[in-house]
Amino acid sequence: MPNHLADAASPYLLQHKDNPVDWWQWQPEAFEEARRTRRPILLSIGYAACHWCHVMAHESFEDDATAAVMNELFVNIKVDREERPEVDQIYMAALQQLGVQGGWPMTMFLDHEGAPFWGGTYFPKEARYGQPAFTDVLKTMAGAYASSDPRITQNRAALLERLRQKARPAGQVVIGTNELDDVAGRILGIMDTEHGGLQGSPKFPNTPFLELLWRGWERTGRERLRDAALHALDGMSEGGIYDHIGGGYSRYSVDDRWLVPHFEKMLYDNAQILDLLGLAYSETLAELFRSRAEQTVGWLQREMMTQGGAFAASLDADSEGHEGRYYVWTLKQVLDALGATDAEFFARHYDIVPFGNWEGVSIPNRLKEVARSGADEARLALLRDKLLAVREARVPPGRDDKVLADWNGLMIAALANAAPRFGRPEWVELAAGAFRFVAETMVREGRLGHSWREGRLVFPGLSSDYAAMIGAALALHQATGERHYLDLAVDWQSRLESHHAAEDGGYYLTADDAEGLILRPEATADDAVTNPNALIARNLVRLAVLAGDDAYRARADRLFDGLLPRAAPNLYSHAGLLNALDTKLRAPEIVVVGNGEDADALFETARRLPRADITVQRIEDAALLPPEHPARAKVDALAGGNAAFVCAGGVCSLPVTESNRLADAVQTAAPG
């Protein structure tokens, strides 16, 4: 039976276009079909790089007998969570309210209006390990729906009420630096002191937690907080979660040592990790962090660039039907590629062993301590290049080449922020090219879309798109001094306010004119990506400085007043919002005035400081500094010349004219 996915733009949906399941896209016609036929809806949500999504597809969605049951009993809708994160967010929240740990594939059962009444994640084709067979689940749910089982109505009403309750603020709370320090200390207590990262498995990079630890060190000077963040970055950078041959980080490690990755690579993970690598390198000058950042950007340019200069969404975990096949090695393969002497040398440094370190094959890693000289590292780099050339002849994993505005925005900002820290100005050009694609191709009448592929744009965009792309614009403005980036940031913030602002001070994920959902998602907790409300709060603080308008600061206050009460019961899941609050309370501003080599040196030093969310302005003509700026009187007194002023809390330092004194001035002006 033909389904309705053949004209989809999403690579994930196109993976299912030949299924015998009569799949619909998320569209009004699907719900009309459910109403017309009085059938419930089976909603299946996943994404292109998801391993277990592929498993369920092969077992059930490609099976004629299972598909026949699905087609008879349900209207079946397939959704790409990356293309429609607002749909995913609603039904993931519903699934968790049922007491089911979230994950993908997500399988939800809805009435014909879209209200959920039951769900789960992966269901096996045959019953095993206490899980029912998928067809048994289908028949049970369809039967209950057809018989008007009162539990269906009760579940539906209870789920919708719980979702609405979660959206209501519970009152005012006070969270300040003391509370931030307390959360940082508690997170430190659950860190893995042996392997780095959070204790246990699976191990995710969890970059908001690591940033929260880093900011705790900035505030308190407690080196254990900084060292815990560095230890996690060290572990994931030496472990198998990092692709030592081609660069880039996988989504997570299935074990507690960072050895065995879930091999999919996501753009957003690598963006968030690149940001932290920049901070870590600025603080330590460790070669490990420099090389991982440069190799990851090399992977980005080699494997993730799309036509037009933007970045693709993800790489699949599977190739040739096997998870990780593209990335793993046998000792014989290394011998064939390098010859005996070089193979022995490489294998010793990268844990390539005769019987493998995982399921009979070896995942390259450097978790074992092996002494390496500079000459050894140079030799290993040449050998990695040889193995990369061999690997590129293999069947590659699938690439989801849709362009997501939010994930691209995260990477653009990360590249712009990392460029001065690693001395790689060409990364700013790379970021600017991706920004140009989104700003020119994914915008309609000034408003952002969310996802683009092969000329088709998913529109209107989400608050996450505005959050990330405004952040990208501000990062590029600070990196280049070009005014048009700031103008776009101001314009997009205005459109975000017009179409996404919520009554409680936060922002709905969906626009006010987006197609109807059962409710407008307004989550505040982080998931794999920092919550958009948190990113917006950080943008507002920067906009107040860069645009010279305190209305943005007042808007940030209203956001925190509305959302912190919702965050208070579970601060761990709101690390992104807490990091944004730290920016609001403490992040310094550096104004570099003048031109010439001395001013250039001050500006570059300011951009390299290992502090989160410093706002750096370059003002060549002192007359361009707004009259109400707290540094204006001191700039006027300077009467020409070059200097930097460090401002925090409405007060600015005396002029700093020597680059090596800038870090001390920041610590004095904005202490912990």
Give the residue-averaged pLDDT of 600-619: 90
C-alpha torsion sign, points 420, 422, 425, 430: negative
CATH number at residue 41: 3.40.30.10
Q: Among the listed ranges 110-114, 172-176, 184-188, which one has the minimum average pLDDT value?
A: 172-176
User: How far is it, in rounded angstroms, from Cα 319 to Cα 32?
Assistant: 38
Q: Rounded to 10 degrees, what is the CA torsion of 654, 656, 662, 667? A: -10
433: nearest Cα among 314, 542, 304? 304
pLDDT value at residue 159: 46
Q: What are the phi and psi torsion angles at 619 (to 5°)?
A: -120, 105
The pLDDT of residue 492 is: 98
| Residue 369, domain extent | 327-393
Query: Quick check: 606 and 592 in contact, CB under 8 A?
Result: yes
Check: CB of residue 446 under 8 Å from CB of residue 454. Answer: no
Q: Report pLDDT for 416.
A: 98
Which whole number is the average pLDDT over 335-350? 98
Residue 402 region by backbone torsions, left for phi larger than 0, else alpha for psi between -120 and 50, else beta: beta
Same domain membership, residue 605 and residue 539:
no
Angle, alpha carbons 660-665-669 (nearest 5°): 165
Residue 130 identity (one-letter amino acid): G
User: Based on the domain organization, do 199 and 312 belong to the same domain?
Assistant: yes
Amino acid in position 355? F
Contact 518, 115 (CB under 8 A): yes
* Segment 176-203, tens digit of pLDDT: 888 999 999 999 999 999 999 999 999 9
In a domain, 54, yes or no: yes
Is 70 exceeded by the pLDDT of residue 173?
A: no
Average pLDDT over residues 106-129: 86
Element (H, E) at 163: helix 150-166
First to last CA, the chain: 64
**Confidence at residue 499, expressed as pLDDT on a 0 to 100 scale:** 97
- Whether residue 3 is contained in a domain is answered as no
Q: Are residues 573 and 489 in the same domain?
A: yes
| One domain, residues 43 and 140 | yes
130, pLDDT greater than 70: no
The pLDDT of residue 556 is 95
**Domain-embedded: residue 201:** yes
Element (H, E) at 261: strand 261-262
Mention every residue, 6+ apart, whose C-beta is less than 8 A from residue 247.
292, 295, 296, 297, 298, 299, 300
Torsion-angle region of 328 (φ positive above 0: left; ψ -120 to 50: alpha; else: beta)? beta
The number of residues in the chain equals 672
* CA atoms 512, 515, 518, 524: torsion sign: negative
Together in a domain, 20 and 63: yes
Task: Give the residue with greater pLDDT, 361 vs 166.
Answer: 361
- 465 lies in the same domain as 571: yes
Q: What is the pLDDT of residue 330?
A: 97
Residues 59 and 17 in one domain: yes
Q: What is the CATH number of the domain that holds 658?
A: 3.40.30
Do residues 473 and 408 make contact, with C-beta atoms less than 8 angstroms apart?
A: no
Closest CA to 118 of 90, 156, 81: 156
Query: Which of 568, 586, 604 finishes a domain?
Result: 586
Q: Is the separation of the CB atoms in 464 and 85 below 8 Å?
A: yes
34-68 pLDDT per residue, tens = 999 999 999 999 999 888 898 899 999 999 999 99
Same domain flag for 39 and 138: yes
- Which of 93-107, 338-352, 516-530, 582-596 has the least mean pLDDT? 93-107
CA distances from 196 to 28, 105, 362, 463 (A): 47, 29, 22, 33
Q: Decide if 417 contacts 278 (C-beta within 8 A).
A: yes
Residue 144, pLDDT > 90, answer no
Pairing of strands 615-619, 589-593: parallel
Q: Mean pLDDT, to the nearest integer, of 663-671?
A: 77
Span 320-348, average pLDDT:
96
pLDDT at 55: 87
**Total number of domains constituting the chain:** 4
Residue with tokens 């493998």: 356
Give a yes or no: residue 55 inside a domain. yes
Buried-state track 457-486, b at ≥16 Cβ within 10 A, e below 16 = bbbbbbbbbbbbbbbbbbbbbbbbeeeebb
Please enumerate in sequence order all residues whose Cβ is within 8 A of that of 340, keeping only pairs 6 or more positions apart, or say none.
Answer: none
Rounded percentage of the chain residues whose pLDDT exceeds 90: 70
Q: Distances in Å between the alpha carbon of 664 and those of 190, 223, 333, 609, 658?
A: 32, 17, 53, 11, 11
Q: Position 242: which residue type?
A: Y
Contact 256, 216 (CB under 8 A): no
DSSP one-letter string for 581-597: HHHHHH--EEEEE--SH
Cα separation, 634 vs 639, in Å, equals 9
Q: Going edge to edge, which strands form the sheet with 651-652?
A: 615-619, 589-593, 643-648, 651-652
Domain final position from 345, 363, 393: 393
pLDDT digits 0-9 by tens, 188-243 = 999 999 999 999 999 999 999 999 999 999 999 999 999 999 999 999 999 999 99
- Identify whether residues 521 and 465 lie together within a single domain: yes
Whether 64 and 138 share a structural domain: yes
Residue 23 has pLDDT above 50, yes or no: yes
The answer to whether residues 290 and 208 belong to one domain is yes
The CATH number given to whatever domain includes residue 542 is 1.50.10.10
- The distance between the two most distant Cα atoms of the chain, rounded to a whole number of Å, is 84
Checking phi first, is residue 22 left (phi over 0); if not, alpha (psi -120 to 50) or beta? beta
pLDDT, tens digit, for every residue of 265-321? Answer: 999 999 999 999 999 999 999 999 999 999 999 999 999 999 899 999 999 998 888
Strand partners, 107: 44, 120
Burial of 365 from C-beta contacts in 10 A (0-12 / 13-18 / 19+): buried
150 belongs to a structural domain: yes
pLDDT single digits (tens) 441-486: 999 999 999 999 999 999 999 999 999 999 999 999 999 999 999 9
Burial class (CB in 10 A: 0-12, 13-18, 19+), 6: exposed
Beta strands in 552-619 (DSSP E): 589-593, 615-619
**141, pLDDT greater than 50:** yes
Strand partners for 615: 589
Residues 581 and 597 in one domain: no
pLDDT at 118 (0 to 100): 85
For residues 218 and 241, what is the distance between their CA atoms, to the nearest angstrom? 28
CA–CA–CA angle 47, 87, 6 (5° rounding): 55
Rounded average pLDDT over 121-140: 81
pLDDT of 163 higher than 60: no
Residue 612 confidence (pLDDT) above 50: yes
Q: What is the pLDDT of residue 343?
A: 98
- Looking at the domain assignment, is residue 171 inside a domain? no
User: What distance in Å separates the CA atoms of residue 141 and residue 320, rounded to the nearest whole number?
Assistant: 35
In the predicted model, is pLDDT for residue 162 greater than 70? Answer: no
pLDDT band at 168, cuts 50/70/90? very low
Least confident of 68-72, 167-171, 283-287, 665-669: 167-171
Evaluate if residue 100 carries a pLDDT over 80.
no
Q: What is the dihedral of CA 408, 293, 338, 394, to 10 degrees?
A: -10
Residue 172 lies in a domain: no
Q: How confident is the model at residue 165, as a pLDDT?
A: 52
Domain boundary among 130, 145, 166: 166
Radius of gyration of the chain (CA): 26
Q: 22 lies in a domain? A: yes
pLDDT of residue 156: 58
Mean pLDDT across 628-653:
77
